[in-house]
Amino acid sequence: MPERARLIGEIEVAARSLSPYWPLPGFVAINPLRGWEDQAFARAVESATRYQGGRGYWRPATETLSDLDARWHSGTAAVNRHLILALSAFCDQGQAAWTMPNRHHGLYRAWRAVALHDPLLPGRRRLRKLPDTALACLQRLMAEVPAGEVRIERLRGHLHALPGWSAFVRWRAQRDSDPWQEHAPVTVVDLLAVRLALCHCLDVTETEGLAHAPADHGGIERLQAREARWRTPLLQRLQQRATQAPAERPPPKAQLVFCIDVRSEVLRRHLEATGPYETLGFAGFFGVPMAWQGLDEADAVASCPVLVDPQHLVREHAHRRGSKAIRQWRGRQRWRQLGKRLADQLKSGIAASFAYVEASGWAFGLSMAQANLAPRRERLQAQPPSTATHIRVAESDGHSIAHDQQIFYAEAALKTMGLIEDFAPLVVLCGHGGETVNNPYARALDCGACGGHSGGPNARVMTQILNQRRVRAALATRGIEIPEDTVFLAAEHNTTTDEVRLLDDEAVPPERATALQQLMTDLARARHGAAAERCRQLPNTSGDPVAAVEQRCRDWSEVRPEWALAGNAAFLVGPRWLSAELDLQGRCFLHSYDWESDGRGRALEIILTAPMVVAHWINSQYYFSTVDPQVFGAGSKTTQTVVGRLGVLQGNGSDLMTGLPEQSVLRSDGQPQHEPLRLLTVVHAPPERIEAVIQRNGVLQRLFDNEWVAVAAIDPRSGDVRQRQPGGSWPLQDAAAAHHARTSPSAATPRHPSPVSEYAL
């Protein structure tokens, strides 16, 4: 094999241990140890912490020391500092006023041209003798390292010296259509060439200088004990429900389909308590793999899971371009954009910036006052008026969703969620999104199923599809008969305030107006109950719960606007009656599923290989961000610096932080809000059906056999609970554990995380 081809192959093998990284504008939860998922969980933790430092299991804060500090005191600290500066300048995505020149030549060539004139880089003259291309440079500087495993290990060590930046580079290098990658192409080969060139200039020969924390030999046992303590009561409660006949309920006045997001569980429970409503759970993109381009937006964004490529472009249009509301909104937007451009130019100028800061203080003071005193007005002015816009799922510009595709998406969605008969007069598809100000992690509060964006556009598209007569006629031939008087509506659940807002409500016929008004009244009651429940967990809240959560989302200084998915621990797949009326405390993803209507297990296969995998990524990100916020999370919000509109650093220079901030998972230092447990998947279906799906999908075999995710079956034929073991056996749940669950005080309700002393078993 030619030497260069061998080296490229070794780089690819070394880079497989990196997890993908999605920039802040489309922040997506990911398992930070995804690159190690081919290993058993405990072994993967060992491998990752050996290369990156950090902790893989929960310990009280008083027993720990940040491995981030150890990283910066290692022998590679100077190399890291220079490399961070280079990457920050080259990878900038529109934040910097002055960017690295010649970025179109690629990272290595652009950096080398600048570094030759950098007085702060010792040994910079050595760069003149290095080759002009990244691969040739890398080949020369690695010439003394034996090929094969030794060289792969050395390359992996270099990549994991700054795993966040390395992950971002690899992520962007795999996206040829990304406009920033076209403008400033970067590859892992470039990154390694720059790093080794810096080592060459600085006379650094050793790259594995991390001072690792001692191995936590009892960590996996403590984790398993905590998991059993939470899982066993949950399984017993679900088993009790499975062996009872579903309670008789009157026909629902309305059906509402929420995202499987754990925050939806709280609102669903409170809404069902108000009257005869049926709620269902389905991935929040509603099965439409689309990109969304809002009104007057220059670019479209992917509004589907990152596991899926967008197949359609859907645009938002003005109802009447000359309408007064649209004209006024566009006028405000033009003035906003003009003011922002002017302010950016003045702040960035060498001379003007000093005078600008002195002269503009009063203006920023007024702006801050307005943001505090009239935040809702500020927020609404930035959005187009919803009653003045609409979408078209079939357009004439080549971006249409063809009729047969609409039928396919509608059938797949309805069958997967088990909604194929007994339709209510109103069926609401409810996407979701968060609402905060001054928050780099705002996308982390939006819908993971929509690529880190709000799910309202997807709900609008699917409702438009399902309201079409031609689509309904085709569905009827496939066994799904939607009554003629059933109306589908789109809505969006604001997870920060628990408000549900209707979208495109002009589609409601007059005969449904009374029912819709009652639904909105009941949603308001449910909102109050959900907000009260959330306020009990949020610090520094008092008074009316709705007003309290509204205030949090408007407060530009609030570091904990909501807890997002903190506490998530289980993924439940089954009919709603299995978990209805159980207080799951916002800790469970709920996906609707009817095993009897899924004879070949295809719907279950979709659920386990797509939304369950995303739930695992979310769960893992929360887990590792909690056990070590400095290495696997994003550190404290109060010391973060946004870099290049792509991520955050700690202070003015660090690795690119890849996880969640401390304030998203900890109540205070050492007091976790998120209990770090691995995901438990519970499926209401025969074990043999679940196993057949697992055997058809390698990704499920890796997750279940390597114990990243546990899976249990509630057999609908007997009510037995069986938990799968690595390799594929399904033994009955242990009788002693079941007895403990029935007699333990904790069996009544799965608890929220308690003080940290209970975690350190």
Q: Note the pLDDT of residue 427.
A: 97
Pairing of strands 312-318, 290-293: parallel
**Nearest to residue 227, comparing CAs of 758, 680, 673?**
680
Range with lowest mean pLDDT among 93-107, 348-362, 741-755: 741-755
Q: What is the pLDDT of residue 434?
A: 94
Q: Which residues contact 66 (CB under 8 A, 6 or more apart)?
A: 630, 631
What is the pLDDT, as a whole number, of residue 331? 77
pLDDT in tens, 391-443: 888 765 556 899 999 999 999 999 999 999 999 999 999 999 999 998 999 99
What is the secondary structure of 177-230 as a DSSP string? T-HHHHHS---HHHHHHHHHHHHHHHT--------PPPP-TTHHHHHHHHHHHH
Predicted confidence (pLDDT) at residue 65 exceeds the cutoff of 80:
no
Helical pair 107-115 and 134-141, crossing angle rounded to 10 deg: 70
Q: Which residue has the higher pLDDT, 749 or 693?
A: 693
- The model's confidence at residue 724, banded by pLDDT at 50, 70 and 90, is very high
Instruction: State how far the Cα of 616 lies from the Cα of 613, in Å rounded to an integer.
Output: 5
What is the distance between the alpha carbons of residues 511 and 550, in angstroms, rounded to a whole number? 33
Cα separation, 589 vs 587, in Å, equals 7
Range 498-517 burial, b when 16+ CB lie within 10 A, else e: bbbebbbeebbeeebeebbe
Residue that wins the pLDDT comparison between 354 and 192:
192
> Predicted confidence band at 367 (pLDDT cuts at 50, 70, 90)?
low
Hey, what are 396's tokens? Answer: 């004439």
Q: Are 447 and 284 in contact (CB under 8 A)?
A: yes
Q: Residue 134: its pLDDT value, please?
A: 97
Tell me how far apart the alpha carbons of residues 689 and 109 are, in angstroms, rounded to a whole number.
55
| pLDDT above 50: residue 380 | no
Q: What is the pLDDT of residue 59?
A: 81
- Predicted confidence (pLDDT) per residue in 442-469, tens digit: 999 999 999 999 999 999 999 999 999 9
Give the pLDDT confidence score for residue 68 in this predicted structure: 47
Q: What is the pTM of this model?
A: 0.91
- The secondary element (H helix, E strand) that includes residue 345 is helix 324-348
Query: Of all residues in the chain, what percent carry a pLDDT higher than 90?
Result: 71
For residue 171, name the pLDDT band (cuts at 50, 70, 90).
very high
8 A C-beta contact, residue 198 and residue 83: yes
pLDDT of residue 751: 35
Greatest extent of the chain over all pairs of C-alpha atoms, in Å? 82
Report the amino acid identity of residue 619: N
**What's the Cα-to-Cα distance from 7 to each of 192, 477, 491, rounded to whole Å?**
12, 57, 52
Average pLDDT score over the chain: 87
| DSSP per position, 1-55 | --HHHHHHHHHHHHHTTSPP---GGG-----TTGGGTTS-HHHHHHHHHHHH-S-
DSSP E strand stretches across 282-362: 290-293, 301-303, 312-318
Span of 49-58, 262-271, 412-421 with lowest mean pLDDT = 49-58
Residue 28 falls in which region: left (phi positive, over 0), alpha (psi -120 to 50) or beta = beta
**Does position 312 have pLDDT exceeding 90, yes or no?**
yes
Q: DSSP labels for 666-699?
A: EEETTEESS----EEEEESS-HHHHHHHHHT-HH
In the predicted model, is pLDDT for residue 71 greater than 60?
Answer: no
Work out the average pLDDT over 78-85: 94
Chain centroid to CA 755: how far? 27
- Left, alpha or beta for 18 (phi > 0: left; psi -120 to 50: alpha)? beta
> According to the model, what pLDDT value does residue 390 have?
76
- Interior angle at CA 714, CA 713 and CA 715, nearest 5: 100
Burial of 553 (0-12, 13-18, 19+ CB in 10 A): buried
pLDDT of 496 higher than 80? yes
User: What is the tens place of the pLDDT at every residue in 662-708?
Assistant: 999 999 877 899 999 999 999 999 999 999 999 999 999 999 999 99
- Give the mean model confidence (pLDDT) for residues 176-192: 94
Which H or E run includes 64? Answer: none
CB neighbours of residue 355 within 10 Å? 11
From residue 606, alpha-carbon distances to 246, 256, 614 in Å are: 26, 21, 12
CB 740 within 8 A of CB 39: no
Yes or no: say if 663 and 633 are a contact pair by the CB < 8 Å rule. no
pLDDT over 90 (residue 15): yes
Please give the pLDDT value at position 749. 38
Phi, psi of 245 (to 5 degrees): -70, 140
Is a pLDDT exceeding 80 seen at residue 335? no
Cα distance between residue 605 and residue 412, in whole Å? 12
Say if residue 212's pLDDT is above 60: no
Which DSSP state fits 424?
-
